Amino acid sequence: MASPPTVSAPAPPASGGAPCAARGRLLVDGKLAAGAVVFAGATIREVITGDAIPRERLPARVFDAALVTPGLIDLQVNGGFGYDVAAGAPALRGLALRLPATGVTSFLPTLVSGAPAHYAAAGDALVQARGAGTAGALPLGLHFEGPFIAVARAGAHGRDAIAAATPALFDDACARGLLRLVTLAPERAGALPLIARLVARGVTVSLGHTDATFEELGAGIDAGATMVTHLFNAMSPFGHRAPGAAGAALTDGRVVAGLIADGVHVHPAALRLARAAKGPSGLALVTDAVAAAGEGAGRYRLAGVDVVSDGTAVRLAADGSTLAGSALTLDQAVRNYARFTGAPIEEALAAATEIPARLLGPAAATKGRLAVGADADLVLWSETIEVQRTFVGGVVAYERGG
């Protein structure tokens, strides 16, 4: 027997745009339930759940799908589709236009360690890209992945920039309201007061590229960090006598662990371990994508450095072995996570929507959820979890076959 629909209180009519609805199984609070989302303009007006929704309750235009979710949010994007975010505003605009094909409606352009001028230029590029009003995924702000990190865990980051980094490097982007996320190493001198200062200014702090002990990572969490960057990668590993940064991340419920679910950065067994330790609300899927994402094998650039992709893994061209981001897209990360761990698809989807939005706090208060008054950033999926349509602010930004 069909269950009766339940209807949320309607929001005031949104200006611009005739009402539309997306109908299917809805992702609401981490669970799937049959229903429909009604939106007008850029805002969700109603969320109706139930198997039998009278047709007269819905607007004239209805989009049907197997699943309807909030838009995906990628917290760590260095590039994709041939674009490197360090290349300036045109690259950011090009990337923003392509990301909706992967279900991404919001993202953080991410910068690897560089000189101060590198960050100032990125801030200017973000302002220009936003000012152009380009349709596509919305860059919510910048992610500085470094340079206040550990030389010992530099990975593909430039060691000179890391050694020269000071806490003052973040001041300009903070003052301009452009900085949303910082990855840093809590064991560096001055890191703990820097964490507290960044958090006080509304910036989310993630601990990563760190050689911290178990205790040092805990001190960073005590200071206000709420995330760990690409768990297991570029951090002191877990040992049964010295649990390291990885052990602290796995056992402290105050932090969400970012995961690159490409099968290269993290073995499927390690993904299952992380899920068992952190639970369904303790993991956020990220791509750490570079320009190679969405493209074929070949040679690409990451902030001026040559990298080589085999279509799955991306490595520094100089040595052919050091991982330098990924060629992963976030919709593929969702599918991989569910397949590698056996998690229900709603858990994988929440790890790319609701959980990243929660980490960003007020900066993403209207993102990552299907709720009255939230942004009409929606993804419509097939039964095989392929993106069929993506709406950004109520406007179709991608349509499969269109």
Task: Tell me the pLDDT band of 134, cut-offs 50, 70 and 90.
Answer: low
Q: Which whole number is the average pLDDT over 159-187?
A: 97
End-to-end Cα spacing for the chain: 37
Q: How far is CA 170 from CA 126, 142, 175, 197, 329, in A?
A: 16, 11, 9, 10, 28
338-363 pLDDT, tens digit per residue, is 999 999 999 999 999 999 999 999 99
Q: Which whole number is the average pLDDT over 175-179?
A: 97
Task: Tell me the pLDDT band of 14, cut-offs 50, 70 and 90.
Answer: very low
To the query of whether residue 222 is one of the catalytic residues in this protein, the response is: no
The three-point CA angle 3-6-10 to 5° equals 155
Q: What is the pLDDT of residue 401?
A: 85
Cα 100 to the chain's mean position, in Å?
A: 13
Position 191 pLDDT exceeds 50: yes
Catalytic one of 74, 84, 211, 288: 288
Q: What is the pLDDT of residue 137?
A: 97
C-beta of residue 78 within 8 angstroms of C-beta of residue 112: yes
pTM, two decimal places: 0.96
Residue of 402 and 18 predicted with greater confidence: 18
Residue of 221 and 280 predicted with greater confidence: 221
Q: Which whole number is the average pLDDT over 196-222?
A: 98
Amino acid at the residue 303? A
C-beta of residue 353 within 8 angstroms of C-beta of residue 42: no
Q: Which whole number is the average pLDDT over 223-247?
A: 98
Q: Which whole number is the average pLDDT over 186-213?
A: 98
Position 4 pLDDT exceeds 60: no
Q: What is the pLDDT of residue 135?
A: 76
Q: What is the pLDDT of residue 402?
A: 56
Position 186 pLDDT exceeds 50: yes
* Percentage, residues of the chain above pLDDT 70: 95
Q: What's the rounded Cα separation, in Å, for the pair 205 and 337? A: 24
Amino acid at the residue 161? A
Domains and CATH numbers, the chain: 6-70+368-399 (2.30.40.10), 72-364 (3.20.20.140)
Task: Tell me the pLDDT band of 42, cut-offs 50, 70 and 90.
Answer: very high
Q: Which whole number is the average pLDDT over 372-376?
A: 98
Q: Pairing relation of β-strands 31-40 and 20-28? A: antiparallel
Q: What is the pLDDT of residue 16?
A: 47
Q: Which tokens hold the place of 235?
A: 């951090």
Position 9 pLDDT exceeds 90: no
Query: pLDDT averaged over the chain?
Result: 94
Q: What's the rounded Cα separation, in Å, for the pair 391 and 235? A: 37
282-310 pLDDT, tens digit per residue, is 999 999 999 999 999 999 999 999 999 99
Taking phi over 0 as left and psi of -120 to 50 as alpha, with beta for the rest, 47 belongs to beta
Q: What is the pLDDT of residue 54?
A: 92
Position 12 pLDDT exceeds 70: no
Q: Which whole number is the average pLDDT over 227-247?
A: 98
Q: What's the rounded Cα separation, in Å, for the pair 294 and 317? A: 19
